[in-house]
C-alpha cells in the first residue's frame, strides 16, 4: 500500500465531486495548452503529501518528545495544543492525538471517505483514500502493517481509529532509541507522515541512514 506498489486490487473509483471534476478539467486544459506538465503536478502533489504538509505534524511530535508538559496538553486536547504552535484548519474538526507505546500501536483510517488532519499532515496520500486500505485496515490491521514493512510483536495491541467529519486522528509515534542527544529541530527531520498515520515507526538517525 506504500511506495510504488498497488494494493488496491480491482479498484472502482468513486464519482468525482463537482470541485474535483472542475479541478481535473482545468488541469487537463492547462496540460493540453502546454502551460503545465504532468510531471510538475505530480512533483507538487508529492511535496505536499510527503514533505511540506507533514512538516507541521513533525514539529508537533518533536515538541511533545522534548517537552513533557506539552505532550500532556497534546494528549488531553490535541486541537488546542496544536493551535499553540500556530497550526489551524478551516475544516472545523477536532484533532485527537493518540500516543504509541511499547504495548499499544495506533493506526488511523477513514472508512467512509478520506477524512484527514490537514493542518498537521497536509494532503492525504493516495493509498489512504483507496478502498483497499479503508476496508482492510479495520479488518486485518496487522496484515496491512506488514505490507508497509511494519511487523509488530503479537504482544502489542493494535488499535484502529476511524476518522470522520467531526474528529480527525493523528498518531504521536514512539521516540526512537538513541535520540536523547538530538535537539528538537533534529528530531523533526526523523518524523515521517506514515509514522503519524500509524503505518510506520520513526527510525533513529543510525537506522535511517
- The residue annotated as part of the active site, out of 115, 130, 163, 195, is 115
- The residue annotated as part of the active site, out of 28, 37, 80, 113, is 113
Q: What DSSP line would sit under 132-167, residue for residue? A: HHHHHHHH-HHHHHHHTT----TTSEEEEEE--SSE
Q: What DSSP line would sit under 63-94, residue for residue? A: HHHH-HHHHHHHHH-HHHHHHHTT---TT--E
- The residue annotated as part of the active site, out of 2, 110, 163, 165, is 110
CA pair distance 202, 190, nearest whole angstrom: 6
Q: Annotated catalytic, 155?
A: no
- The residue annotated as part of the active site, out of 2, 8, 114, 204, is 114
Q: Annotated catalytic, 183?
A: no
CA pair distance 133, 126, nearest whole angstrom: 10
Residues 6+ apart with CB under 8 A from 63: 70, 85, 184
Q: Annotated catalytic, 80?
A: no
Residues with catalytic function? 110, 113-115
Amino acid at each position: 500500500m506504500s511506495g510504488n506498489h498497488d494494493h488496491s486490487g480491482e479498484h472502482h473509483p468513486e464519482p468525482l465531486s463537482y470541485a474535483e471534476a472542475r479541478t481535473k478539467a482545468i488541469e487537463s486544459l492547462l496540460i493540453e495548452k502546454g502551460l503545465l506538465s504532468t510531471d510538475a503536478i505530480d512533483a507538487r502533489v508529492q511535496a505536499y503529501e510527503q514533505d511540506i504538509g507533514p512538516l507541521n505534524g513533525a514539529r508537533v511530535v518533536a515538541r511533545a518528545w522534548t517537552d513533557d508538559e506539552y505532550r500532556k496538553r497534546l494528549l488531553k486536547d490535541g486541537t488546542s495544543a496544536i493551535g499553540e504552535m500556530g497550526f489551524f484548519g478551516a475544516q472545523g474538526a477536532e484533532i485527537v492525538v493518540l500516543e504509541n507505546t511499547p504495548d499499544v500501536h495506533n493506526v488511523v483510517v477513514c472508512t467512509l471517505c478520506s477524512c484527514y488532519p490537514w493542518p498537521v499532515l497536509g494532503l492525504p496520500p493516495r493509498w489512504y483514500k483507496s478502498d483497499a486500505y479503508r476496508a482492510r485496515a479495520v479488518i486485518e490491521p496487522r496484515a496491512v502493517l506488514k505490507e508497509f514493512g511494519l511487523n509488530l510483536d503479537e504482544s502489542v495491541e493494535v488499535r484502529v481509529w476511524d476518522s470522520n467529519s467531526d474528529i480527525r486522528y493523528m498518531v504521536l509515534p514512539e521516540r526512537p532509541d538513541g535520540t536523547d542527544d538530538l535537539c528538537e529541530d533534529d528530531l523533526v527531520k526523523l518524523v515521517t507522515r506514515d509514522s503519524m498515520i500509524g503505518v510506520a515507526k520513526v527510525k533513529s538517525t543510525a537506522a535511517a541512514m
